[in-house]
Structure 1
Amino acid sequence: MTKYEVVEICAGAGGQALGLEKAAFEHALAVELDENACNTLRANRSTWKVAEGDVADPSVWDPADYKGVALLAGGVPCPPFSIAGKQLGANDERDLFAWAVEQVAVVQPRALLLENVRGLSMPRFVGYRQHVLDRLTQLGYIAEWRLLHASDYGVPQLRPRFILVALRPEDAPYFHWPEPVGPPPTVGETLLDLMAANGWRGARAWSKRANKIAPTIVGGSKKHGGADLGPTRAKRAWAEMRVDGLGIADAPPAADAPANFVPKLTCDMVARIQGWSDDYPWEFTGRKTSSYRQIGNAFPPPVAHAVGSAIMRAFRHEGEPRTLETSEHDPLYTALRSSGEFITPERLMKLVKVSDPAELERRIGLLSRDFEIEIKTSGTKTAYKLGRFKAFVGQKDHTRHDLFLMHRAQIS
């Protein structure tokens, strides 16, 4: 049988890793920055090679050593694109998305799989996304983005994730995004046995009350205190299901807890909501806050399994080939990039089909957050030219290096 190996970068505590293993991929390497997450990976899969440290540090691993691997995959840091954050994108020292895409030139995998938060799908990052698609086209791959919801794959929480899959031209027509598997169980159905583990007599009534799926679990970062269930809006949603979202419990409710007790979730319960179960068994190492952070920042294993299986079917050319969808097209980025020269606002407005100068300025402003925009003025006339991409793609003189070292202790 053909052996399909995967190199996984920013592997975290193993959510994507376990899903890809279920899809029949074998790990050639897992690279992760966080010590506790690395310990969890090693505890669960002692035969895996785990490289601990900054994934962009050549002393941690050499991408050239894994040239020709079947799949390059990863869940690169989310804060640069998070709606809840500042959306610094290419200006965030944690941004590794563009760097990961650039490794395709070195590793030359058969496929690339990267996942991130829904924020990357927003208009703010349309130029960034177009640059990624164009770069993968240059490298000989056909790429597509898709927003997937974990709840469509049996996971009892919302958790939208923005997924990039890129394949070689001979495999790409056989890639079909995984179909939803049906409604997920509710939080109450998912956690009833864990809530009742110590004999709490109110567990069944609580389960009936918790008759919705969970809001997105937020693992948080080392910058922000201990474990809790997310921002105010999420805590309100948990409160409606009679869950105290202000922290994580050490154990399920005691047998003598009042029937109307409002419980907190344990790490085991949060892991169940993230998709770990008897079908996806896993153990987490470290103290409670670290374990919760590992769990909350993970890619749900059932979703990784579904996407990994779809890639595997494409490798095997199973099913009917399809007509590939047209890649995303950002007319402003494309106009500036294809010209290579300075373009007047009037010309840009025609190319972009925008009639309002203020709207053009707004779009240029968004693009300038990830690309340098050169501006030339002559009297009262102004012209624009697309400059370099600001993101870190491996440059030795990039500001990312100093910023990373400065904030190393807070990056997770």
Structure 2
Amino acid sequence: MKSVELFAGAGGLALGLSFAGFNHGAVIEWDKWACDTIRENKASGFPLVRDWEVFEGDVRTFDLAGLSGKVDLVSGGPPCQPFSLGGKHMGRKDERDMFPAAVRVVGTLAPRGFVFENVKGITRASFANYFQYIILQLSYPEIIPKPDEDWTDHLTRLERHKTSGKVNGLTYNVVARVLNAADYGVPQRRERVFIVGFRSDLKTEWAFPKETHCLDSLIDQQWVTGEYWERHQVPVAERPDISERFADRLPRLRQLRFPYARKLKPWRTVRDAIAGLPDPRHAGGRGLFHDHTFQPGAKAYPGHTGSPLDLPAKALKAGDHGVPGGENMMVMPDGSVRYFTIRESARLQTFPDGFRFHGSWTETMRQLGNAVPVALAHRIGGSIAAHLLSEEEVQLKETLTGRHP
């Protein structure tokens, strides 16, 4: 199935969708460093990436006419800075708001489906109306703003069209949900909003995939059965004391063994993610893994505490020393802290070990902090692909039986 990737960054979403069976006819990204990361992996023959057509430039000026044939999926992660809690909160007034460009691409290419990712902050109250505006624009991408039409007036026109019940023209059935990556096997508590749409002429009923992992299963394996510590060969004397935040759950877990939670896998932790990687503070074995270099200078202080080793990491952020919550450093068993290496961060974002990053540690951490976890993209993309393929089978059967117009 053919896809087009917008705002590709270092390729996390694109990689996950490739694993799900999508072939990217174009991968578009304006940032040179991120493009270099993809180009270097392409040149080295990294699977999936080697056939990508990478276009470095602004999506708004990209010539869509060069994309021949039908497009099954348009995907991408529009820049999050306009809506991020750590930004200036300018939303639609921010020149980096690329949702209008995403709508234009959908309206021009008329793909069978699309998926876009952004920060959870876009759903908060201050952006509620604009978020609804984005959803309605993606639902009716051919109803474009008139010259000099204010966005609120355009929103009103879209609302009237929706409530009129008219289904003429290019329309999409759109759903959006905030997902926690940890609930899908990513070793990181990363909440992001995903917007998914299917062209309304398709016979498709779709919902976001169910969660596969949960916190209670992790607590059960750590503090009831001990399976977690045994798996990592952590002696009893070296196991940490249970956190007060989980202590109140133990009686219930011990009594019931939490049968529902045990149907799901345990959340993956930082310890799970970095298993097999040597300590970057020691030279021995470090060279076996690319981008696994120790970065000195990590310090803990109030509000800058790092990620515990035996829980999913905090959500990685685009930055290095200046990340306010210490999201890009880990807390060691002895209470000391150190920065995640690039390779450790890549594992937290579920990039394959063979995928390399271009640029300095600062630049690479920016790429990683902005990325979509590959495993989560694969999970969502796989579900979308299955429904698109199923719809193709239905159309084929109708054609063969003469019931197709």
TM range (shorter): 0.5 to 0.7
Determine whether 1:273 maps to 2:304.
no
Name the structure 2 match of 1:35.
32
Is 2:187–2:272's contact at 8 Å kept on the other side of the alignment? no
Name the structure 2 match of 1:7.
4
- Which whole-Å CA distance do the structure 2 matches of 1:140 and 1:196 have between them? 52
Superposition map of 1:315-330 within 5 A: 315-317=388-390
The structure 2 residue matched to 1:175, chosen from 206, 210, 221, is 206
Change (3 A) 1:288 1:137: closer
Cα deviation per residue 1:48-74 (whole Å; 9 max; x = unaligned)? 1111011112xx433563563111111
Change (3 A) 1:151 1:172: farther
- Which whole-Å CA distance do the structure 2 matches of 1:29 and 1:22 have between them? 16
- Which whole-Å CA distance do the structure 2 matches of 1:22 and 1:67 have between them? 22
- 5+ residue gaps, structure 1: 201-208, 221-226, 244-258, 322-412
- Which whole-Å CA distance do the structure 2 matches of 1:199 and 1:260 have between them? 22
Moved more, 86-95 or 269-278: 269-278
Change (3 A) 1:97 1:14: same
1:42 positional shift: 1.7
Superposition map of 1:233-382 within 5 A: 234=327, 241-242=331-332, 262-277=337-352, 281-317=354-390
Partner AA of 1:7 in structure 2: V
Name the structure 2 match of 1:78.
80
Name the structure 1 match of 2:129.
127
Q: CA RMSD in A?
A: 2.7
Name the structure 2 match of 1:185.
268
- Which whole-Å CA distance do the structure 2 matches of 1:146 and 1:69 have between them? 24
Name the structure 1 match of 2:231.
none
- Which whole-Å CA distance do the structure 2 matches of 1:145 and 1:63 have between them? 29
Name the structure 2 match of 1:340.
none
- 5+ residue gaps, structure 2: 42-48, 141-169, 214-265, 285-307, 395-405
Cα deviation per residue 1:234-254 (whole Å; 9 max; x = unaligned)? 47xx56x239xxxxxxxxxxx
- Which whole-Å CA distance do the structure 1 matches of 2:321 and 2:185 have between them? 23
- Which whole-Å CA distance do the structure 1 matches of 2:69 and 2:102 have between them? 14
- Which whole-Å CA distance do the structure 1 matches of 2:332 and 2:65 have between them? 48
What SS does structure 2 have at the residue aligned with 1:263?
A: strand
- Which whole-Å CA distance do the structure 2 matches of 1:61 and 1:144 have between them? 28
What SS does structure 2 have at the residue aligned with 1:167?
A: strand
1:84 positional shift: 1.9
Determine whether 1:231 maps to 2:324.
yes
The structure 2 residue matched to 1:102, chosen from 101, 104, 121, is 104
Partner AA of 2:40 in structure 1: A
Cα deviation per residue 1:268-313 (whole Å; 9 max; x = unaligned)? 11111111245xx411122222222111210000111011111111
Partner AA of 2:316 in structure 1: I
What SS does structure 2 have at the residue aligned with 1:46?
A: coil
Is 1:10–1:75's contact at 8 Å kept on the other side of the alignment? yes
